[in-house]
Amino acid sequence: MTRSRKAFTLVELLVVIAIIGIIMSMLLPAIQAARHSAWKLQCSNKLKQLAIATKGHEASKGRLPGAMEVVGGKRASWVVPLFPYVGEQQLNDRWTDPTVTQATANTHYIKLFICTARPGLDTSVASNSYIANIGFGPRGSDPSPFGPAATATAPTSSYDYWVARRKANGPFVDRYTARANGWKIAKTLITVSSTDFRDGTSNTILFSENLAAGQWHVTGLPTGMVWLYANESGVPVNSGYETQAVLAPSAVPAVARINGNKMTLASVTAPEHARPSSMHSGGVNVAFADGSVHFLNEKIVYHVYQSLLTLHDRHSDMPYRLYVLNGNDFEQ
């Protein structure tokens, strides 16, 4: 009479465990890839919402939001004027109320402005994952007259801060006219609308991801990306539209490239740092002025990046301002 066996032997159990381990090791990369793909899609959808909201703002106000504006007597970034168009009417009411202080209005976490793939964001404050295209970012080290333009504190009759930030150089321009906290005084309030996108709304970036973006209420570089007066070696240099001079550009700093130093850069503190970055492999999601979202290759050459940020290349301060953008340039 044979006795039936009711348990695994130790060897059999170890074999089963080993097989499960092998299967899990095979599935884990696929699971992780699927998770990152989902994060990338979520981020893309949020950027699309921002682009559509910008269109809504233009339809209502006849212009794009400013990189910096006054809302309810408070200095605000481009995020605040978009509140009515992204379902944040309560926050909009708070900001437009002149009796509400800046500090009180600034404390809110908004899910729309958080990229799931960006780790470690504080949900108790106004955290942000996205930046707007604020155009040319002059540096003190740039050739004259660009260098002095970076520190101009009032309008001049020559090239200054406000000439650098004109609409040909980028879509989100400063619209803050009062002297306060060191900010400049505009000659006039610049209005940017879709008719100013002379290179095409499908060729101009509005928004991008950024791993070092500041809180959404902070104005300036923490919520904006810029292009520098820099270029690759051997790329032609044209005479400037405003300067009418051929000025030698600097080499492109590594940190200023898309995803440059993304794992070590904790905050945007200088024009070189204000560039797109993400945790996605190989590039970043960006929203264009026509409402489309593309995955921008981090290896694009710098004059293509500059061209994608300017509204009218030929009237801009790009070193290679006569470059004609090819539709395949940013889908390499």
- Given a cut of 90, whether residue 12 has pLDDT beyond it is no
Residue 156 inside a domain? The answer is yes
- For the chain, what is the domain count? 1
Cα-to-chain-centroid distance, residue 46: 13
Residue 327: both structure tokens together: 């539709």
Residue 8 inside a domain? The answer is no
**Cβ-contact 51, 289 below 8 angstroms:** yes
The continuous run of DSSP H or E covering 182 comes out as none
Residue 35 inside a domain? The answer is yes
Residue 324 inside a domain? The answer is no
Predicted confidence at residue 220, as pLDDT, reads 84
> What mean pLDDT is predicted for residues 258-263?
94
Predicted confidence at residue 151, as pLDDT, reads 75
- Given a cut of 60, whether residue 5 has pLDDT beyond it is no
> In this predicted model, which residue has the larger pLDDT, 22 or 93?
93
**Cβ-contact 58, 39 below 8 angstroms:** no
pLDDT band (50, 70, 90) for residue 31: low
Distance (Å, whole) CA 111 – CA 135: 26
Predicted confidence at residue 35, as pLDDT, reads 62
Cα-to-chain-centroid distance, residue 21: 42
pLDDT band (50, 70, 90) for residue 184: low
- What is the pairing mode between strands 230-231 and 250-251? parallel
Residue 65 inside a domain? The answer is yes
The percent of residues above 90 in pLDDT, for the chain, comes to 61
Q: What is the DSSP secondary structure assignment for residue 72, as one 8-state letter?
A: T
Question: What are 69's strand-pairing partners?
Answer: 76
DSSP codes joined into one string, 194-260? GGG-TT-GGG-EEEEE-TT---TT--SGGGEEEE-SEE-TT---PPPTTT-S--PPEEPPGGGSTTT
The range of the structural domain enclosing residue 163 comes to 16-315
If we measure between CA atoms, which residue out of 299, 303, 308 comes closest to residue 318?
303
pLDDT band (50, 70, 90) for residue 183: low
pLDDT band (50, 70, 90) for residue 6: low
Predicted confidence at residue 8, as pLDDT, reads 64
Residue 59 inside a domain? The answer is yes
Handedness of CA 61, 62, 65, 71 (dihedral sign): negative
Residue 44 inside a domain? The answer is yes
- Given a cut of 70, whether residue 227 has pLDDT beyond it is yes
> What mean pLDDT is predicted for residues 275-287?
94
pLDDT, one tens digit per residue, over 78-91 is 999 999 999 999 99
pLDDT band (50, 70, 90) for residue 115: confident
- Given a cut of 60, whether residue 216 has pLDDT beyond it is yes
> What mean pLDDT is predicted for residues 87-101?
94
- Given a cut of 60, whether residue 181 has pLDDT beyond it is no
Residue 111 inside a domain? The answer is yes
- Given a cut of 80, whether residue 75 has pLDDT beyond it is yes
Region of poorest pLDDT, from 21-25, 62-66, 120-124, 182-186: 182-186
> Locate tokens 């709304």: which residue?
201
